[in-house]
Structure 1
């Protein structure tokens, strides 16, 4: 039985270097153009940055604000480059990736757009407090029984530091199903982390060596929360994203840095070899005396 090309492409991407996901994805798309929309809406990539021509503010690029080769700015609500034939109608995508408009993002309705503007203002403050820099963007779109959206956050290492590089991308896709005084929120969060150490130090012969640590993590949560007004949606989404980012940061610290510390500790001895040998000899002598 022949393997499904889409499943095979996803399986291949999981086995390749996550730091080069965008390059690998473009290579697969060039080989299988029919999979373009499905792959772009299913594979999380490092977020691109573009400057809004109307406001001069940076915003993040993803599949949820893309229409063809154009991306919508959350600050001006305009597509860049402008779409042929005018602006699209109201549309959007499902938070679970089955898109009514993933890759063909429409403009949100008036009410949802007002919430989008407020959410961008709120998460701009969150970004400044938690990340002390970087770029944030929030995009909303309409659903039949509510609305959905994505919260994007990106932080890169300071420019000009060639010895150490680091990029954090977090993508929080949510779906809000309104049910009277309560709303059901489904949140899918992905963190893409790229860390490297080396570059100038390694090539300069300083003996520092090089390190490349890259990967991603995805978690989901579903919760019913009370809603009194549209402002309550912003508060609820903010709390869900904040809690999820805290949990994922702790998991990354344990998985990435805890495992790395253990590996380095096994490979590198802090003391000299002679001291280590003396300790092992003393240990064997002690165990031998206990057996007599």
Structure 2
């Protein structure tokens, strides 16, 4: 008999990535024993909560969750509050780095995303520390179109002599959708996971924040370019093939619309204009 968690993950891989949160909730309702394993194994779009103390929004994931409460990176308190002695919070040293990292990525978010929400969470480890950087932006240009970008960067840093070894695992969840009478419905959703390891120089705790920021920035740029090439590049190729297929069958080769209408190509038009200008210039002289 198959392991229930393996069967659940196998099923999720075959369903629409856009509905992953709803599908995970449905599986949990069917088998509550899978709750922890599913939440730890499946990346779902980030949810948003508001810090009651600072009135700032923050992102929720499994790394700042304790039961049904989530720790705010701005106040270091749980929403809703937990009983005294419950809820894991970072040590003073790690908390100071967490505050600096949140300030740095808040600037990064504004520069690269021009909006959205960011949150950074750190926690202690025996040989260093670990953490996650969360970024989310959702847009709705019209009532029938929407898009969202969720990036989850999980890392651990192992302290060494004057250096640190970083391991970064990045996940980007992209969702685009539109529904109109002219074009019909379109749903483009999916996720991408990449991993990298690096050894970087460390002078003090501020160096950790700078190193992590550089790694996340480089990784997001690479993944954005890959997503653009895979999703939009492939869609462009398919549309190009569809709209030129009948013309190739008729003529056996590609030809331009200007050629079909009897309009001279641009290079010929430019040569004619250059000749005309030369003649006018000669007449003026």
Same fold (TM over 0.5): yes
Q: Distance in 2 between matches of 1:147 and 1:281?
A: 61
TM-score by length of 1: 0.83
Which of the residues 112, 115, 118 maps onto 2:97?
115
For residue 269 of structure 1, report the CA deviation from its aligned partner.
Answer: 4.2
Q: Distance in 2 between matches of 1:197 and 1:213?
A: 9
Q: Give the secondary-structure state (helix, strand or coil) at the position aligned to 2:94.
A: helix
- Partners of 1:60 and 1:137 within 8 A in 2: yes
Residue aligning to 1:176: 157
Q: Distance in 2 between matches of 1:10 and 1:182?
A: 38
Question: What are the Cα deviations for residues 157-184 of structure 1, in whole angstroms up to 9, with x where unaligned?
Answer: 14x6223210000000000011121111
Q: Give the secondary-structure state (helix, strand or coil) at the position aligned to 2:195.
A: strand
Residue aligning to 1:189: 170
Q: Distance in 1 between matches of 2:61 and 2:248?
A: 53
Q: 1:226 to 1:264 in 2, by over 3 A?
A: same
Q: Distance in 2 between matches of 1:246 and 1:171?
A: 14
Residue ranges of structure 2 left out of the alignment (5+ in a row): 256-285
Give the number of the structure whose alpha-carbon radius of gyration is greater. 2
For residue 268 of structure 1, report the CA deviation from its aligned partner.
Answer: 3.0
Number of corresponding residues: 255
For residue 277 of structure 1, report the CA deviation from its aligned partner.
Answer: 5.8
Which of the residues 227, 233, 238 maps onto 2:202?
227
Q: Distance in 2 between matches of 1:253 and 1:139?
A: 29
Q: Does 1:130 align with 2:112?
A: yes
Residue ranges of structure 1 left out of the alignment (5+ in a row): 90-105, 284-292
Q: Which has the higher contact order (CA 8 A, sep 6+)?
A: 1
TM-score by length of 2: 0.85
Q: Distance in 1 between matches of 2:101 and 2:248?
A: 57
Q: Distance in 2 between matches of 1:258 and 1:28?
A: 34
- Partners of 1:192 and 1:217 within 8 A in 2: yes
